[in-house]
Amino acid sequence: MAYKIILVTVCCMSLIGLIFRLVSIVRLGRVFERDRTSLVRRIFSCRIFFLDYGNAIVNTLFQARLFRAGKLRWLAHTLMLSGFAWLVFIHALDDWTGAYWDWYQPGIAPFRMMRNLAGAMVLAGCAAFLARRLKGSRINRERLRRGLRFRVRGTLSILVILGLICTGFMTEALNIMSEAQFNEMVEEYSGLAGEPELVHLKAYWALNYDVAFADGIPGQGIDLDEGEVFNQENCLECHTRPVTAFVSAPLARLGAPIGLWTAQFRLDRILYWVHLSLALTLVLFLPFSRMFHLLAIPLASLQRRMTPEKVQPDMGVLDLAGLSACTHCGFCSQVCSVYPDYQVSENPQVLPHVKIETLKRLAGIGVWDPATLIRLRSGNDDCTRCGLCADICPSGIDLVRLWTAAGRLMDRLGCPDNYTTAMDASFSRWMGKGESDFITVPGVPRGAAADAGPLSGLISDADAFEHCVQCTLCTNTCPVAAHDLVENDLGPHQVMNLLRLGEQDMASGSRMVWHCLTCYACQEICPQSIRVADILLELRCRGQSRAAELNLARLRGGDQ
Amino acid sequence: MKLAYFPGCKIHFHLRSYGEAVEAVMANLGVTLVRLPFNCCGNPARGKNLVASVLAAVRNIALARQKGLDIFTPCQCCFGQLKHGVYWYKTDPQIREQVDLALAEEGLVFKETQIRHLLDFLYHDLGREKLARRLKAPLPTHKIVLQQGCHALRPFSVTRFDNPFAPKMFRELAQLTGLEVIDWSKETECCGDPAAETNGGLALRIRQDKMAHARQAGADYICTACTHCQIQYDRISHDSEDGNKMDIRALPFALFLGAALGIFNEIENKGARNN
Amino acid sequence: MNNSHVQPGFTSSCAQQNMEGIHCDLLVIGAGMAGMVAGARAAVNGLDVVVAGNPSSLVFSSGIMDYLGVYPAGSKAFLDDPEEVLDRLARDFPNHAYALAGHDKILDGFGFVKTMLEDAGLPYTQHSGAAIVKNMVVATAMGTIRPGFMVPETMAAGALENGEQKTTLLVVSIKGLNGFSAAQVAQGLASRFARTIPLEVELPGIPTGVPPQILAGRLEDVKIQDALISQLLSHAPKADIIGLPAVCGIEDSPGIMAGLAARVNRPLFEIPGPSPSIPGLRLKNAFENVLAGTGARLLSNIRIKAPVFDGKRFTLTAEFDTESVQIRAKGVVLATGRFFGKGLHARRERIVEPVFHLDVAQPTGRHLWHDNRFFTPKGHAINRAGIETDGLFRPLDERGRPVYTHLYAAGSILAHNDWARLKSGSGTAIVSACSAVDAFIEARGGGDGI
């Protein structure tokens, strides 16, 4: 009874938590969307009939995407999930589900065995996950650089589940051994309480059911056949031999001495409540722990994928659910096409699994650190939208849509891309007032700064451009000059001239540098073999750093 | 024959039909395209961080070489960038040092390997005679103008692909399939794709100019050999404002070749995006 | 200079395109006028030829081809008939390309180039009087006049004879095109015509300082042509002939000019104008197409270094950005130009030829290179420095013998030719290139074991 009350209470609280969580997800959308659509409208904005039910079902039931991404991980996860599902429905909730089988009893053979099997599966899965986490393979440690927060949270969930299973086995073992429970059962279900014939039953149970009797069993005067008859009459309907509990039973046998000792303070009861508490903890914190992905992933998988024809940069409700569906598995970053950008820039926001967390946080609490926003902008702009991360994401999150929406979100948060910053900056702002205005943003590459050796190769090396005789062949052949005739400010030959005047910064802010198509027509035709296009690109690299600096300064509240 | 297949970042999500056409053609020609865990060629990073773009390019080459394979790509931007990666790696000792360190993290060592684009594979590796023998039937005489693609042509000193002013490979291959190649003044000019995201107006004007010239030349199709060029010309059918009904359809050469090899029946449908 | 190579799986069916090494019959170093003509001449005659260099120098050409405009250098008058003074030139400069080649070869060379360019869609015109070989005279953007032996057809209608005294010239300039002033041209030509009228037209979307090539591209657009025509029509009736800056399209300029002329119902001609020269660009494009059409291979923007001769053939290094590649050739034509083209290099005391380190005929000391007065009628001796050759255009060593049997020199690198003042640039390039190639072909056919 108490159990039922507690269970229902916890479930209600969990449900409230779930609703709270879902609402908060929807409210994330407020940051993404331009207009303040009402909550209700937003929820119902996803078109029910256009959802990808097939994908959601296949991914939820069979973890199809995880299977594609990594077979071993899928195995561990499937073991865990199916074992756990069984335990929830055919163990934890057996008061209700057991009613559908009139022959269901937790203590009889198939169900004992299945329960142990399920527990063992979950155990195997947990062990695999933990091993991977603790071992920290080279891929995990170096390539992914996960934050401590994720490591702790993720491991905590697994430890709770592990604890749940272990306490489950231990409880079952203790139940098997428990003399007190034997006595209770005898009292309640047989007429043998206090009778001298009980000893036969006791002996039978000591031998076959691994009960540990404090006083032991008398060596003489035991009739096991009599015991068996009593067993058949009173017990067998609900209890078959525990040997089918292939984990708990050996545990019981091995732990008999401990079992006897702990029987004094009814450890079996205590452990039962511990086991129950752990289970209820999981339920209670489901909306707020990693376990929430049980709900988030099916939701995310419902979303129809963005296609190049239908670029929808704003986030629907399901995409927001997708933000929460991330399990930090890191598959996305392992396949990320621009991983080399991360290697060189050391900007973790290049990596998808870091980006998504930052985005979620951004949507939740707004801009908490301008430098992080700048890094996110840089990392997201590095992304080529190749779609490999979205393909492999086991949670089914449409990452390409996310990254597209992220760009626009950052625009609205006052952090446009470097191109926009460069084009919008006034001349004096671009040039700055002095050296001190050039602040460094950690994690954003300096580009072609004078102090960075190879990157100043051409624009600081007079030999690279001084031979320009201003013949203007480059500008004449430039398609940007031809098709942006009125808007374009400098032809390539004029940029060369700026370099000859030592005005690298000025040149790096010109439209020509940012619009250059890199078609190399100028470089091919230059009679002096000047690497015109390479110089323009180097100036652009230099300009990227400057633009990021200006952005950061503006976000921090200064106006330079 | 086995080649390491380098599709580039754009095909998978943005232009799947092109990748499918290329793979079908290569399979028909008896080439096994091996998939390796390549990363981006580095072209998008070129305007932001030179070292990153070189590392990206060079890592791909090192990966392919490790497996003893040449690289094959249907994208001219990727082709050019891979070649540039080799150039910068060889030219600048500081870049080389940084790149070597990053490669060593994975146990990779840079060694050169051949980088082939679809066109120069067909022209040099397979050869026109062999290709001609495999053609099932000449195509109906479509009039086409060629979008040569600038990143493979220039700078010649780096890419060594074809004559940058009067390229011939694309032309001869197209003529082999029965296509009628028409001259037009815009053949070697950039398609404008690199400006599409930043300066949409410029990209649009370049496209419109190309279309006008193609129309004037009397072409039925513009024929491309690069993912980016194809995406750029496809934009016309997807942009809402530019509803000029006189636009010329652009199709990748792989489609025409596939039709001539007897693989595809209707090139028009196959050429639709993500068909 | 390492050739790192990986064998492709298939054997290349076109072995000579194998990037490990390039083999050819003739290597032409330099892709200016001389280089392009040499390459085309060789390819047309069946040689496997590679041309290495930067074709952009052709864009600096006005498009007008000179035989001999002035002799002696510094005289004020233009030559009517170049052939007349050839003997004199040969006496004065026995080593001059014209002296070595002779009038017939010069005419043959011009004819060769004219035919090729015509086939490539760029027709040229010679003086219409067939009996005597004559120079034409055309106006320039400066308002001056200059001679020319062959001019692009689009300039031909403006060839100045003596009959202009009775006609009215309308000179048109385009707003935004710097370096071409209708007023200046009209004023400069005022004495030759009954009347000259300057007119500035404004074309849509053309900003100030428009690069000429971009303007020329715009003029291929019918809408822009319409705008031009509509402004011309109001003034055209006043004039007998109309001159425009030479920006009337890049492709099919003859077609565009013909169309415009028909619409204004007046003869139209182009006036060679500010740099970069569009007729020069047309020439470059035409030569590139000619070369490609003949099967010659162009190595664009590639430097050639370190030649070695083993008795039978030359081995040179082609410096690509990514690696150096060996070129093996039976013959070489050195058409590397002068100082700007890096065919000649001026050191502190001496002028050297940097590829083969050939002897350069030059003044005995640096102090003799230049005269103190920039515009001295005597000219500057440095402009006459260069490579001396034998009759087959093979560079000579200090003993006056060809350095190599099959090394030739052509073009502005040759000595004793102050081409800017003699107005002999194109002719020298053409005749030396053709003669060199012909000599090589003949020597090859002569069976000396090549």
Q: What number is the average pLDDT over the span B143-159?
A: 96
Give the residue-averaged pLDDT of B134-142.
87
Sequence spans of domains, chain A: 1-49+292-415, 57-285, 446-555
Which residues touch C181 (CB under 8 Å, ≥6 apart)?
A: C141, C173, C198
pLDDT band at C10 (very low <50, low <70, confident <90, very high): very low
Q: How close B163 gets to chain C, by Cα (Å)?
A: 6
Q: Domain for residue B126, yes or no?
A: no
Count CB pairs under 8 A between chains B and C: 83
Higher pLDDT: A396 or B73? It is B73
In terms of domains, do B167 and B232 share one?
yes
Find, among B25, B36, B37, B183, the residue nearest to B119 by Cα.
B25
Q: For residue B58, which amino acid is it?
A: V
Pick from A479-493, B2-16, C130-144: least confident? C130-144
| CATH for B14 | 1.20.1050.140
What does the pLDDT read at residue B246?
A: 66
Token digits for B249?
Answer: 């359809």
* Residues B243 and B141 occupy one common structural domain: yes
How does pLDDT run across A350-384, given as a tens digit for each residue?
999 999 999 988 888 888 899 999 999 999 999 99
In chain C, CATH 3.40.50 covers: 159-266
Enclosing domain of residue B96: 2-117
Phi, psi of C324 (to 5 degrees): -100, 140
Residues in C closer than 8 angstroms to B65, CB to CB, are 6
DSSP string, C419-432: HHHHT-HHHHHHHH
Q: What is the mean pLDDT of residues C117-142?
A: 87
For testing the chain A interface, which of B6, B39, B229 should be mutated: the one with the most A CBs within 10 Å?
B39
Contacts of A307 in chain B (CB under 8 A): 274
For A446-555, give the CATH class: mainly alpha
Tens of pLDDT, residues B186-229: 999 999 999 999 999 999 999 999 999 999 899 999 999 999 99
Q: Which of B117, B146, B166 is the last residue of a domain?
A: B117
pLDDT at position A111 over 60: yes
The reply to whether A346 touches chain B by the CB within 8 Å rule is: no
Select the residue of A476, A481, A529 nearest C301 (Cβ to Cβ): A529
Q: Is residue B264 part of a domain?
A: yes
Touching check for A345 and chain B: CB below 8 Å? yes
Tens digits of per-residue pLDDT, A152-182?
666 788 888 999 999 999 988 888 888 888 8
* Per-window interface: A 424-483 vs C, CB < 8 A: 469, 471-473, 475-477, 481-482
Please report, rounded to a whole number, the percentage of residues in chain C having pLDDT higher than 70. Answer: 93
Which chains contact B through at least 3 pairs of Cβ atoms less than 8 Å apart? A, C
Domain co-membership, B68 together with B106: yes
Lowest mean pLDDT among A33-42, A237-246, C81-90, C332-341: A33-42
Range in A43-52, A230-239, B135-144, B152-161 the model is least confident about: A43-52
**CB pair distance less than 8 Å for A481 and C214:** yes
CA distance C363 to C346: 12
Exposure string of B205-216, with b = 16+ CB inside 10 Å and e = fewer, is bbbbbbbbbbee
Band of pLDDT at residue A456, cut at 50, 70 and 90: low
Domain range A1-49+292-415, CATH architecture = Orthogonal Bundle (1.10)
Work out the mean pLDDT of chain C and round it to a whole number: 91
Is residue B128 situated within a structural domain?
A: no
Asked if the Cβ–Cβ distance from A455 to B195 is below 8 Å, we say: no
Residues of B in Cβ contact (< 8 Å) with A305: none
Task: Count structural domains, chain B.
Answer: 2
Q: Would the pLDDT of A327 be above 90? A: no
What's the pLDDT band for A138 if we cut at 50, 70, 90? very low
| Predicted pLDDT at A265 | 85
In the predicted model, is pLDDT for residue C360 greater than 60?
A: yes
The mean pLDDT of C258-268, rounded to a whole number, is: 95
Task: Determine phi and psi for A344, rounding to 5 degrees.
Answer: -85, -45
| Residue of A525, A529, A530, A532 to mutate, interface with C, max C Cβ within 10 Å | A525
Q: How does pLDDT run across C422-431, given as a tens digit for each residue?
A: 999 999 999 9
pLDDT above 90 coverage of chain A, percent: 31
CA distance C387 to A39: 86
Beta strands C314-319 and C324-334 are antiparallel
- Strand runs labelled E in C202-261: 241-245
Confidence at residue A227, expressed as pLDDT on a 0 to 100 scale: 84
Tokens representing residue A271 in the block: 């452990």
More confident residue, B175 or A253: B175
Answer whether residue A10 shows pLDDT above 70. Answer: yes
Contact, A339 vs B103, CB < 8 A?
Answer: no
Are C357 and C399 in contact by the 8 Å Cβ rule? The answer is no
**Same domain (yes/no): B110, B142:** no
Q: Report the share of chain B in percent with pLDDT over 70.
A: 92
The pLDDT score that the predictor gives to residue A343 is 92
pLDDT at A239 over 70: yes
Which CATH topology does C159-266 take? Rossmann fold (3.40.50)
* Nearest residue on chain B to A517, alpha-carbon basis: B194
Residues B258, B168: Cα–Cα separation, whole Å: 20
Residues 217-236 of C with CB under 8 A from B: 217, 220-221
Residue C332: predicted pLDDT: 98
Structure token digits, residue A186: 């005898």
Residue B125 lies in a domain: no
Name chain B contacts of C12, Cβ cutoff 8 Å: 124-125, 127
The answer to the question of residue B129 being in a domain is: no
Q: Do A340 and B42 touch (CB under 8 A)?
A: yes
**pLDDT at C33 exceeding the cut of 80:** yes
In-domain check, residue B214 = yes
Looking at residue B193, what DSSP letter applies? G
What pLDDT, on the 0 to 100 scale, is given for residue A142? 46
Q: What is the mean predicted confidence (pLDDT) over A424-440? A: 70
**The domains spanning A1-49+292-415 and A446-555 adopt the same CATH topology:** yes
Report which of residues C397 and A98 the model is more confident about: C397
End-to-end alpha carbon distance in chain B: 28
Q: Which tens digits make up the pLDDT trace of C36-60?
A: 999 999 999 999 999 999 999 999 9
The residue of chain A nearest to residue C54, with distances taken between CA atoms, is A527
Q: Please judge whether B70 and C288 are an interchain contact, meaning their C-beta atoms are less than 8 angstroms apart.
A: no
Say yes or no for a CB contact (<8 Å) between A485 and C205.
yes
A527 touches chain C (CB under 8 A): yes
Task: Tell me how far apart the alpha carbons of residues B149 and B161 are, in angstroms, rounded to a whole number.
Answer: 11
CATH of the domain at B148: 3.40.50.11810
**In angstroms, what separates the C-alpha of B19 from chain C's closest C-alpha?**
22
Amino acid B274: pLDDT: 39
Collapsing DSSP to helix, strand or coil, B11 comes out as helix
| Residue A235 scores a pLDDT above 50 | yes
Higher pLDDT, C110 or B264: C110
Q: Is B37 on the interface with A (CB under 8 A)?
A: yes
What is the residue type of A130? Answer: L
Indicate whether B122 belongs to any domain: no
Instruction: Of C73, C92, C70, C199, give the one whose Cα is nearest residue C147.
Output: C70
Write out the E strands in A83-227. none
Secondary structure (3-state) at A501: coil
Q: What is the ipTM of this complex?
A: 0.95
pLDDT band at C297 (very low <50, low <70, confident <90, very high): very high
In CATH terms, is domain C21-115+281-445 a member of 3.50.50.60?
yes
Residue A431 has pLDDT above 80, yes or no: yes
Is C108 in the B-facing interface, judged by CB distances under 8 Å? no
The answer to whether B175 faces chain C, any CB pair under 8 Å, is no
Tell me the chain C residues in contact with residue A524 when contact means C-beta distances shorter than 8 Å.
300-301
Lowest mean pLDDT among A13-27, C75-89, C94-108: A13-27
Whether the predicted pLDDT of C15 surpasses 50 = no
Residue C4 pLDDT > 50 = no
Is the predicted pLDDT of residue C289 greater than 50, yes or no?
A: yes
Q: Which helix (H) or strand (E) holds C325?
A: strand C324-334
Neighbours of chain A (3+ CB pairs under 8 A): B, C
Is residue C13 over pLDDT 80? no
Average pLDDT over all residues of chain B: 92
DSSP assigned state of C239: -
Mean pLDDT across C302-306: 94
Helical spans, DSSP H, in chain B: 9-14, 16-28, 50-66, 76-91, 93-104, 118-120, 128-134, 150-153, 156-159, 169-176, 200-217, 227-238, 253-260, 267-270
Average pLDDT over residues C17-46: 90
State whether A540 and B94 contact (CB < 8 Å). no
Q: Looking at the structure, do residues B88 and B147 belong to the same domain, yes or no?
A: no
Strand, coil or helix: C352:
strand
For residue A251, the model assigns a pLDDT of 86
Confidence of residue A297 (pLDDT cuts 50, 70, 90): confident
- C149-180 pLDDT, tens digit per residue, is 999 999 999 998 866 778 999 999 999 999 99
Reported confidence tier of residue C132, pLDDT bands at 50, 70, 90: low
Give the pLDDT score at C447: 42
